[in-house]
Amino acid sequence: MTANWVTEAAPRAMEVASSEPNLLERWWRSRLGRRLLLELSLLVIGFMAYKWVRLLVRDQVLDAFDNARAVIGIERSLGIFNEYQLQRLVLQWPDLMWWVNRYYAHMHFWVTGVALIVLYARRPDRYLWLRRMLVAVSAAGLLMHAMYPLAPPRMQWRIGFVDTLARWGPSVYADSTVAEVANQYAAMPSLHVGYAVLVAMAIMPMISSRWRYVLLFHPTITIFSVVVTANHYWLDAIVVIGMIVVAERWLFHRPSPIDRLAPLPARVRLDGRPADALTTRV
């Protein structure tokens, strides 16, 4: 009987072993396989779209300055054209200005990138929300950049604005690599502000204590920095926040095509196994 059992069990074991996916198949199905390749493809497509929009508006300098005068007129009618006064106030503290310049130049990319990586690894449900909102707001922003080129306040030196990045550094737009891809007539809307607001909105629901409100410092300081460095008007921030409200209201009725191709589990651990509760408590 023992011999018969061994004889029957051996083929079944071989059949089970042959049906299990190999290492390459397991990688391809994991979050670090086809899903990650799709996400990186989105990043490349977005970068190419940004360069394309830049080429579209590079000759619309006159329109950009005409639109700037229109935006200034709107802000004056609303009683909010005080960017110049705020900048002059902050310029009295060179150390603060040095810090604000670097916050504007670096934190936009670092905070957004770290948030996407951490959420992809720990909370794919929040990652999907953030990624879809970033894509939607970026697409709407690029469309507005193409249709409504806008010269930023730092180019309005006749009014008295100071290009603080060019004067005290880091002069990001003077770098040849950045200058090649940067659209300097894309003040409306402010994607710096949009991304900062979205990162805070993505992470705050994960924290149950009052410490979650600390996350509001990032969008608040970002708004302050884009205005004080004369890279954006108040209206640029107001418009992108309006875009976020519209996108949040209408975007999530159905899954996106990329989510149907390679769905992510709602909650996973770093090792890929499901987790019952990953809500952060501090």
CA 190 to chain centre: 11
**Per-residue tens of pLDDT for the chain, all 282 residues:** 555 554 555 555 455 445 566 777 776 766 676 777 888 888 788 778 877 776 676 678 899 999 999 999 999 999 999 999 999 999 999 999 999 999 999 999 999 999 999 998 888 889 988 988 998 999 999 999 989 999 999 999 889 999 999 888 887 766 555 555 567 888 999 999 999 999 999 999 888 888 889 999 999 999 999 999 999 999 999 999 999 999 888 766 555 555 655 566 555 443 344 444 444 333
- Quote the CA–CA distance of 141 and 153 in Å, as a whole number: 18
* Cβ within 8 Å of residue 135, ≥6 positions away: 42, 46
- Quote the CA–CA distance of 50 and 59 in Å, as a whole number: 16
Q: To which residue do tokens 């003040």 refer?
A: 187
Q: Is the pTM of this model over 0.75?
A: yes
Cβ atoms within 10 A of the Cβ of 152, count?
A: 23
pLDDT for position 113: 93
